[in-house]
Structure 1
Amino acid sequence: MTFLLLFGTFILFLLLSVPIGIALGLSSVVTILGTNIIGMDTFTQRMIEGLNNFPLLAVPLFAFAGDIMGRGGIAKRLLNLANIFFGRITGGLGVVTVIACLFFAAISGTGSATVAAIGLIMIPAMIAKGYAPPFATALVATSGTVGTLIPPSVTMIIYAVTAGVSVTQMFAAGIGPGLLVGIALITFTLYYANKHKYKGEENQYTVKEAFVIFLKAIPALLVPVIVLGGIYGGIFTPTEAAGAACIYGIILSVFVYKEIKITELPYFAFNACMLSAAVLLIIGMSAGFGLILTVTQLPVTISSFIIDMGTNMIVILLLINVLLLITGTFMETNAAIVILTPILLPIVTAVGVDPVHFGLIMVLNLAIGFITPPLGANLFMATKVSNVSYETLAKSIIPWIFVMIVVLLLVTFIPSISLYLPSILR
């Protein structure tokens, strides 16, 4: 009865277009008032406890740093540098786009910021060189998914807090899958570009020009070195790294590249607060929502039921992948993580799956949701910067989804892709 009331009202509120964070809270309150399963004071305390977590401070800080660096000229310098090495080959602009997204993902921490920063520059450039607009737009939208995999990643912070694992371990685990996604996207881009004869850049850089571009890109290249090197070197925590990224981003964008005025910083801070408020509201409400699930012992019941069926690990992981792929098409990523992790994590750990490895499986599944209609957050962002209709882009994205699913299967069933670097850190 409690389970039906909780999820029934939650789904009803979603169908009424109530924001997901509010829907979680309202469905919890309705369930408490209808069943008296816990007290309202207990529910409120759990909400506060869910937010009283030091790593969550990194969410607004990384959002602020990513926004500043995206508009402060860093993306432009990274693209210019990548263009020197790959711009002249067939499909070179597409390769440059993927590589730039990999670098920028190590700065921004989110997929949508990566799509916006790189897409505004590269989509017009590819179209000018004869690339089909839907292909160029789909390439940028898919490449933006690495923003949730390559550390620092806001999504990984949310999973680490929810699952009770190390943020540093999650960051290290994301590097292998993130690079694998990059290699897969480059491979498909080269295949498609050769098939459709997408020429590279005709401009040939002199040694002096290449050297100048490299010098201008050095400060941008140092961003992931400072952030990730500091974390893995034990100099500072992921949350402190986010603060360091903010300071370095301000110095770089305002005083070195001079593409942002210091008077604009409050605007970027306001944007970061607005973005983070929505995420933190979901986390707080989900903590209370999860308490009700725990009291009803639903996660334990589901876990015991599946394990008692005697299904092996491969089948369980395949079923969970299907569930997460479907969930990612209609549910916001952070909400999906905080709701489903307490339910699914006991199941996979019971069959021997490492919690950090499962975190990457979960994040990659939901990252595919960024490019899967009808939600497809990256698709909406890409259409805004390219003027390609959503309907057209939804058709063009299908081959890219299959490429991502191949990578997902490799990450799922070859744990060392995710766990090799964390094992070294341990």
Structure 2
Amino acid sequence: MAVISFGFIFLLCIGVPVVFVLGASAVASLLLTTSIPVSIVSQRVFAGLNSFTLMAIPFFVLAGLVMDAGGISRRIVDFATALIGWITGALLQVACLAAAGLAAISGSGSADVAAISAIMQPQLRKRRYDVDFGAAVIACAGAMAAVIPPSLTMVVIAVISNVSIGALFMSGVVPGLLCIAGLMVVSYIHARRGGEAYRESTPFSVQRLGRTMWSALPGLVMPAVILGGILGGIFTPTEAAAVAATYGLVIGLFVYRELSFRDLPRLLLRAASISASVMLIIGTASVFAWLIANNHVPQILGEWLRTVSSNPIVFLIIVNLLLLFICMFMETIAALLIVMPVLMPVALSLGIDPVHFCLIVILNCAIGTTTPPYGISLFVASSVAGRTVLQVTRKLLWPLVPLLLVLVLVTFVPSVPLWLPRVLGFLD
């Protein structure tokens, strides 16, 4: 195990892409410390990808790309503007509300951040808002796509941990909305202190609200189609992803008519490229996870943790601190595939509900996408805003506060994430 640990840390520190770090360290460990044939690597990669549930990933990716290219994103932002555009600091409020709406459609945090930033940042500059603070808020709000269903992160962690995707989807609704509400409160407080630039003079208009809601209605129906179909047993989460992609194509091509058939090859290639990068990480990480299990790391870690404390609360505190640190440096999918095979058996042995534990991990990963040095949501928001990561990071503290508070709440009050799955019958 020392070989694989050293190889992993060394390759990661010298900047090797995570997919090669996982594969190379696993192969090196097999060659140097075991008599197991290297052919097992290809078998484990295939086994890690041989899952019908994972087919949801390319379909959800395509749905997100179609949503943005087909005009759904812009119409949702217009509707959010009409709904709360009269509040102090309205542009920040709209960004948060639009992030929640897009999260319920695309399932991809970086895609949401890119879409919202592209629409909102020119307006933030025009109105002389604090662009760095705006980018920090958008990064945090967009990261909630990992928590608000449907979520690519939830699909992956459900496959790894063998938990119900429907239960996991429903467990993210309340914490995700609490995070968005907290960000809106922080944005309002910032706007109240920000001066005249944040004061709104546009009155609320029922006519405008009705017009924008009617325009955005096809896009707003998409979450109901996805989640309603899953909850009603009409289709599986994988089939729901295919339905979402098809629905988005129909809306973009024939309702909004902002898509053309000439755009489809480009969107399909982009979706294939993004999906392939995720699948490569999943495949190589499955070898890594198999080696970890083969070396009895979960049992060793479990015994060590019990020498520290057998209290589940202490374990969850350690897990939160560990994940907040790991997710600062690693891509979300890679982090999940490495830590879940190690931590999940320990959590189960301590009597922690698997859905509750998975959501804690997802929240940590979502926060990790907003924090330097790796944070992909932070990078996207900074890039679109035309600011450096350091400039945006300086304004990141207050937007992170509600996310961390919700993480604490979810950790110590399991009923917060588990209430809705129980009401809907996913859990006993």
Give the aligned residue type for 1:276: S
Separation in structure 2 between the aligned mates of residue 371 and residue 68 of structure 1, nearest angstrom: 25
Displacement of 1:364 in angstroms is 0.5
Specify which of 1, 4, 20 is matched with residue 2 of structure 2.
4
2:175 match: 177
Say if 2:186 is the partner of 1:193. no
After superposition, residues 127-276 of structure 1 pair within 5 angstroms as 127-197=125-195, 198-204=197-203, 206-276=205-275
Equivalences for residues 38-49 of structure 1 within 5 A: 38-49=36-47
* 2:85 match: 87
2:411 matched residue in structure 1: 412
| Shift, 1:127, TM fit | 2.7
Choose the corresponding residue for 2:73, options 69, 72, 75.
Answer: 75
Q: CA deviation at 1:288?
A: 1.1
Q: What is the deviation of 1:210?
A: 3.1
| Amino acid of the structure 2 residue aligned with 1:71 | A
Which residue does the alignment assign to 2:326?
327
Q: Name which of 86, 96, 103 aligns with 2:101.
A: 103
Give me the whole-angstrom Cα distance separating, in 2, the residues matched to 1:16 and 1:136: 33
Report which stretch shifted further, 396-405 or 4-13. Answer: 396-405
Question: What is the rounded CA distance, in whole Å, between the counterparts of 2:368 and 2:208 in structure 1?
Answer: 41
User: What is the CA–CA distance in structure 2 between the aligned matches of 1:143 and 1:310, rounded to whole Å?
Assistant: 35
What do the CA deviations read for 1:9-60 (whole angstroms, capped 9, x no partner)? 1122222322111111111111111112532233321221110001100001
| Aligned equivalent of 2:49 | 51
- Distance change (3 Å), C-alpha of 1:50 and 1:9: same
Residues 157-205 of structure 1 show CA distances to partners (whole Å, capped at 9, x for unaligned) of 1100111111111111111111111111111111111121353543346
Task: Determine the C-alpha separation between the residues in 2 that align with 1:416 and 1:33.
Answer: 47
Q: CA separation in 2, counterparts of 1:23 and 1:352?
A: 33
- For residues 135 and 92 of structure 1, the distance between their equivalents in structure 2, rounded to whole angstroms, comes to 14
Distance (whole Å) between structure 2 residues aligned to residue 207 and residue 421 of structure 1: 32
Of the three residues 121, 124, 131, the one matched with 1:123 is 121
Cα distance in 2 for residues equivalent to 1:314 and 1:276: 36
Aligned partners of 1:423, 1:15: CA distance in 2, in Å?
A: 43
Q: Which amino acid aligns with 1:126?
A: L
Write the distance in 2 (CA, Å) between the matches of 1:37 and 1:367: 39
SS at match of 1:90: coil
Deviation at 1:402, TM superposition (A): 2.8
Structure 2: distance between partners of 1:364 and 1:214: 30
In structure 1, C-alpha distance between the alignment counterparts of 2:211 and 2:237, rounded to whole Å: 33
Q: 1:129 to 1:100 in 2, by over 3 A?
A: same
Counterparts of 1:122 and 1:141, CA distance in 2: 12
Partner in structure 2 of residue 303 of structure 1:
302
Unaligned runs of 5+ in 2: none
d(CA) in 1 for partners of 2:199 and 2:214? 24
Counterpart Cα distance in 1 of 2:245 and 2:273: 17
Q: Which of 37-46 and 234-243 deviates more?
A: 37-46
Aligned pair 1:391/2:395, yes or no?
Answer: no
State how many pairs are aligned: 424
Aligned twin of 1:293:
292
- List alignment gaps of at least 5 residues for structure 1: none
In 1, the alpha carbon distance for the partners of 2:24 and 2:320 equals 29
Q: Is the 8 A contact 1:93 1:201 kept in 2?
A: no
Give the Cα separation in 2 of the matches to 1:146 and 1:273.
23
Task: Name the counterpart of 1:358.
Answer: 357
Q: How far apart are the structure 2 equivalents of 1:16 and 1:410?
A: 37
One-letter amino acid of the counterpart of residue 151, structure 1: P
Shift of 1:207: 4.0
**8 Å Cα contact 1:176/1:417 also seen in 2:** yes
Q: Is the 8 A contact 1:108 1:147 kept in 2?
A: yes
Distance 2:47 2:250 in 1: 35
Which residue pairs with 2:376 in the alignment? 377
**How far apart in 1 are the matches of 2:378 and 2:337?**
23
Kept in 2, the 8 Å contact 1:43–1:291? The answer is no
TM-score when normalising by structure 1? 0.96
Q: Is the 8 A contact 1:71 1:117 kept in 2?
A: no
Matched residues in 1 for 2:362 and 2:399: separation?
Answer: 17
1:34 aligned residue:
32
Instruction: Quote the Cα distance in structure 1 between the aligned partners of 2:171 and 2:208.
Output: 37
Q: CA RMSD in A?
A: 1.4
Deviation at 1:353, TM superposition (A): 1.2
Query: Deviations 1:89-133 (Å, cap 9, x if unpaired)?
Result: 112221111111001001111110010111111122123223111
